[in-house]
Amino acid sequence: MADIATEQQILDGLAEIIDDIVGIDKSEVTPEKNFIDDLDIDSLSMVEIAVAAQDQFGVEIPDDELRNLKTVKDVVNFVQNHEAAAKS
């Protein structure tokens, strides 16, 4: 079985992607933050972040799922659940 990233590793990886794409400091990216209301990330940037996350974690995020991922924690959970499914 391949290594499954821990919740903290996913969070760190996501924070790095967000910093790289929209320039928000990694310390701002905490689980409860809402992408639109708290981090001020627009929908096109979310598409970029999702694509980068797919590349990094090897988990496809379909468009209709992406719409439901409102917070940082939502993405972390999504990746964790699907990563486990993909690699177990």
Residues engaged in binding another protein (CB under 8 A)? 20-23, 40, 44-45, 47-48, 51
- Closest approach, Cβ 35 to another protein, in A, equals 14
- Closest approach, Cβ 36 to another protein, in A, equals 11
63 is catalytic: no
What is d(CA 33, CA 30) in angstroms, rounded to the nearest whole number?
6
What is d(CA 85, CA 46) in angstroms, rounded to the nearest whole number?
24
Q: Of the residues 40, 42, 55, 74, which is catalytic?
A: 42
3-state DSSP call for residue 27? helix
Would you name the residues annotated as active-site residues? 42
